Amino acid sequence: MYNGDSIRVSKSGVLLDGQNRLMAAQKAKVNLVCDLIVGLEDEVFNTIDQGRTRQKGHLVARDLGSITTTDAQTLTTAVTRVIKYQESLSQLTTGGFEGKIAHKFTAPRVIEYVNQHPELLDQLEVIKKEFGVRCNLSRATLLYVYHIGSRYDATYTLKFLRKAVLAIGLTGDETLYFYHQCLNEYKAKQSNWTKAEF
């Protein structure tokens, strides 16, 4: 039934709104009666349906294309934590007064980081496979730790996470060694960690 909802297309030819309706019409082999609006700015996508800016995870999923929204949200949270860590910001930092540091955590910044570090997508798959829903730490936290630790030793970091999260695979001496590496090489500061991460 015609209800006034439109199919919206950007100036560059990107379908901004209506994909599900068009796919449903194609699958059902029926004609779709609707309005068609073309020539919109690409940024309009951020406000469609919700009337407000979409969550970063949705924008990251859209731009990466080969990732689910759930995985994109995990990736977004992990990358935001990595950026905070690298820039010596507290993990509790948000947008800051009048958004002065909010630019650090935007979807384009997350996508830029993922493009510079494509191994993150493989690391996400490892975290999903290894830990599933068997622990009380979020996948984003696990990915954050695994990504940073992998800069030094991916195999050992995974062993450490198994020990820390699932309590398997490391001796006491190995655990102490890894904590020593964290504190020295990662230059970790307690004030930059959340209570759970510490």
List pLDDT tens digits, range 83-98. 888 877 776 666 554 4
* Domain definitions of the chain by residue range: 6-47, 56-192
DSSP-derived 3-state class of residue 179: helix
- Phi/psi of residue 20, each to 5°? -65, -40
Q: Which residues make Cβ contacts (< 8 Å) with residue 150, sequence separation at least 6?
A: 119, 123, 157
Among 84, 55, 103, 71, residue whose Cα is nearest residue 189: 84
Contact 69, 58 (CB under 8 A): yes
DSSP-derived 3-state class of residue 16: strand
The structure's pTM equals: 0.57
- Helix (H) / strand (E) element for 185: namely helix 172-185
Q: Which range, 46-55, 105-114, 138-147, 186-195, has the best average confidence (pLDDT)?
A: 138-147
Q: What angle do CA 112, 118, 123 make, to 5 degrees?
A: 125
